[in-house]
Amino acid sequence: MSDVSVVRGHKSDYPNPVSFEVGDRLLVGEQDTEYAGWVSITDPQGLVGWAPLDYIELADDGASGIALKPYSARELDVEPGERLTFKYEHCQWCWVEHKTRGAGWVPRECLGKA
């Protein structure tokens, strides 16, 4: 873990993020054209959003799948100059933690060295 600094602001477009647990059945849609490795899904609660494709075992039809890992699509709203704790990166997005607002995803291009 290390500290990173926000160099470009980010605001989530998803106030109700998708989430799933291992074994959950998911509906799978289109792949993201901006961020490789992400796919549109409908989670067990009926929410639609983005998830890493490699977290899902696709069915033969390609339109459904089973979750291989737990996942939350929670994004953090961040402003330039904020410091965050970097946890890990996946498919051009970083899971980071803010000291008072908790953890969530931020695009890699919004972050720089602290």
pLDDT value at residue 48: 97
pLDDT-derived band at 40 (thresholds 50, 70, 90) equals very high
Distance from first CA to last CA of the chain, Å, rounded? 12
Give the residue among 16, 10, 18 at the shortest CA–CA distance from 76: 10
Question: Strands 19-20, 71-72: parallel, antiparallel or unpaired by DSSP?
Answer: antiparallel
Say if residues 106 and 9 touch (Cβ distance below 8 Å): no
pTM score, two decimals? 0.91
pLDDT value, residue 30:
96
- DSSP structure class, residue 110: G
Domain spans in the chain, listed from the N-terminal domain onward: 2-13+75-113, 21-72
Q: Is the per-residue pLDDT at 114 higher than 80?
A: no
The predicted structure's pLDDT at residue 7: 98
Q: Quick: pLDDT tens for 76-103.
A: 999 999 999 999 999 999 999 999 999 9
Q: Hey, what CATH topology would domain 2-13+75-113 get?
A: SH3 type barrels. (2.30.30)
